[in-house]
Amino acid sequence: MSRTFVGMPVFPPPTHPAFPEAARDAVHNHTLRSNLRHATHTIRAKRARAVAELSDWDRLREAGRLIKDHTLRHLDRYLVQLEESVTAAGGTVHWAVDAAEANRIVAELVKATGESEVVKVKSMATQEIGLNEALLEEGIRAYETDLAELIVQLGNDRPSHILVPAIHRNRGEIRDIFRTEMGAWGRPAPDGLTDTPAELAEAARLHLREKFLRAKVGISGANFMVAETGTLVVVESEGNGRMCLTLPETLISVVGIEKTVPTWQDLEVFLQTLPRSSTAERMNPYTSMWTGTTDEDGPRAFHLVLLDNGRTDALADQVGRQALRCIRCSACLNVCPVYERAGGHAYGSVYPGPIGAILSPQLRGTASEIDASLPYASSLCGACYEVCPVAIDIPEVLVHLRERVVEGGVAVRQGNKVVLKPAKGHAAERAAMRAARWAFSHPGALRTGQRLASRTRRLHPRTLPGPGRAWSATRDLPAAPAEPFRDWWQRTRGGKDGAK
Amino acid sequence: MSSRERILGRVRRALADVPPDDTPYEQVVRRDYLREHGERTVEQTVELLAENLADYRAVVHRCTEAELPSLVARLLADRKAGSVLVPSGLEAGWLAQADVSRVADRTESTPDDLDRVDSVVTACAVAIAETGTIVLDGGPDQGRRRISLVPDHHICVVRVPQQVVASVPQALERLAPARPLTWISGPSATSDIELDRVEGVHGPRTLEVLLVN
């Protein structure tokens, strides 16, 4: 074990500014603020209604938590079982330690078909590993077919939300992107395209139709993988998922290992909690379930790429591992006051919002500026925990990761135990905490200090000098009382004497 | 070492702190949630299905077995459908009165062939009242998955009350995981523009569900 810092960020190396800098532009962008406010407030009210319809919501949530925790606890066993089931059903299972390996496997599988283009279902895992860019380097063009992903791809933009990657765009901006960019990728936008959502959806339908009909290779992720049966589940709305999962001859699914559930029956929990948490619907329009290959129905070849890419590192963290319960519903983003104002791009990851703030630093390590700042991208208000359908205590993990950033300590990176050094930028915080620890264990000194503070209260500055300035830039210093609490207590016996 | 062994090894090392526990899975997860929400008669459950289907913009029709052929014929005529995809095991009588050319669900058909067909008529495996969902399992009267996807108009026949269940847990009990399953709740839709639902993207933009007694 080495004392030096070897926590290397996993692909892509985040050369992203820290969260506060990245968020600064966003909070001053009025269009972005109003787009985000409109969208998140729309969905919040709807989600609350959809959840209220189920009187047993708390029990479903608890069952979801237990299913996921149990699976993670025996993940090795369930992965082996899943592999057996998928193989028995006619699929081929591949294992990818990291992004580079997953991309290589997929590129080789596509090349083996002789094709140079693929259609894609929206998938967080393939976003995470940068699959489209990796395929392009191999001469393979990947077409995103989810409407929001299409908007992001055409706009040469980055996703800013788990469920609705183009949430930062309003209808007018989407129309402009379609008008100017669609032609370069295939069928151009219809003449006279307006910004009504129905017309925009129609434009996407026409643009993508030709791609679906000629596609020979489809690439997807999955929401769930059932170990017992080998069944994969994709939950979607538009039908682009069904197109990619059933029309091509070859299907390649890249799925994080934590997406496993033990039994078929387990789906009865998540198929109730996921749609209501994400799009606030009783049920999303389309859910596809497939088990290996089926004779004369759908793809003739099915490949499953099981992806680690930092997940086992997160699994090694006793507090942080609960983040692997996440079913990517995005309810935590929609209720988060920080996300609503900062937007998704500031998080510097395909996983923005509260879940991103605990997932990215675990998958990638806390070495980079952005990853070390993410645990602080929260007011710890707890709204995320409240709405989470698998009860991930996001504030708990945030505080835990803050401690890791400030104090350093033992962590697992790429399968190896490492000792992280305390982060540089937090020296003042550490010094303050050390001073506090000393003062609280020396009552005499504490009393003297408090009395001194009370007597000099008129002289106290409003902001801290030196290294404390950054802290007090966004906070008021607490005002010292005229008399320390303990003196007051002793003088009045807790106010019992009626004295004030 | 293969990547498989490496990942499994990492998982085992990551869990080194977890004490061994062989509690059977059935005891780990308390399934104390409801098997269905609320108490309803059979007829009320069918009513709820109709209501929830309509809520997500499926067009719901109710008829008897005897009325079905004329209703199907009328719906296809209203759409001015010239052709209709027919799963191999669809009850012949359902299309008996329809004046459209029939296209068989065949392996050889290309996606472009399917794209030229106006409508499709299928049965279903099960329907879920609480969520307004119909589930297709690729049975002979439902055909390959793609035939209910590419045409823009889908007519789906649900036999009530036999094929109707109240809830998601009850539906899963009836379904065989090994079959390719498609769960459909209303026509194709998206929430991708300002998180508001709009109907009509890639799947059939018109979904008509016939509840047949």
Nearest one of A360, A364, A368, A376 to A429, comparing CA atoms: A376
How far, in Å, CA of A336 to CA of B110, rounded?
47
Write out pLDDT tens, residues A46-79: 999 999 999 999 999 999 999 999 999 999 999 9
Return the structure tokens found at B128. 């879920």
Chain A contact present for B193, CB below 8 A: yes
B-chain CB neighbours of A108 within 8 Å are none
| Size of chain A in residues | 500
- Residue ranges of domains in chain B: 38-212
A-chain CB neighbours of B129 within 8 Å are none
How far, in Å, CA of B78 to CA of B153, rounded?
12
Q: What is the mean pLDDT of chain A?
A: 92
Return the structure tokens found at A434. 């050390």
* Per-residue pLDDT, A3: 35
Q: Do A243 and B21 touch (CB under 8 A)?
A: no
Are A239 and B188 in contact, with CB atoms under 8 Å apart? yes
Beta carbons within 10 angstroms of residue A55's beta carbon = 11
Return the structure tokens found at A379. 């007011």
| A294 vs A424, residue with greater confidence | A294
CATH number of B38-212: 3.40.50.10420
What ipTM does the predicted assembly reach? Answer: 0.97
* Per-residue pLDDT, B39: 95
3-state secondary structure of B122: strand
> What is the chain A residue with the closest CA to B110?
A213
| B129 vs B21, residue with greater confidence | B129
Q: Which domains does chain A have, with CATH numbers?
A: 19-45+311-425 (1.10.1060), 54-307 (3.40.50.10420), 442-492 (no CATH)
Write out pLDDT tens, residues A354-408: 999 999 999 999 989 999 999 999 999 999 999 999 999 999 999 999 999 999 9
Of A67, A242, A245, the CB nearest to B29: A67
User: Which amino acid appears at position B33 of this protein?
Assistant: Y
How far, in Å, CA of A403 to CA of A448, rounded?
30
Nearest one of B206, B210, B147 to B182, comparing CA atoms: B147
Of A101, A148, A205, the CB nearest to B192: A148
* pLDDT surpasses 80 at A1: no
Q: Do A264 and B177 touch (CB under 8 A)?
A: yes
Element (H, E) at B156: strand B153-159
Chain B contact present for A98, CB below 8 A: no
How far, in Å, CA of A36 to CA of A169, rounded?
9
* pLDDT surpasses 80 at B45: yes
Element (H, E) at A385: helix A383-387
* Per-residue pLDDT, A9: 34
B94: closest CA of chain A, how far (Å): 24
Beta carbons within 10 angstroms of residue A7's beta carbon = 25
Write the CA distances from B196 to A41, A153, A427, A496, integer angstroms. 11, 21, 46, 59
How far, in Å, CA of A224 to CA of A261, rounded?
7
* pLDDT surpasses 50 at A455: yes
Residues paired with residue B121 on neighbouring β-strands, in sequence order: B155
Q: Do B203 and A242 touch (CB under 8 A)?
A: yes
* Per-residue pLDDT, A495: 73
Nearest one of A64, A49, A67, A55 to A389, comparing CA atoms: A64
For range B192-212, the mean pLDDT: 89
Q: What crossing angle do the helices spanning A19-27 and A30-52 adopt, rounded to 10°?
A: 100
Return the structure tokens found at A407. 């104090």
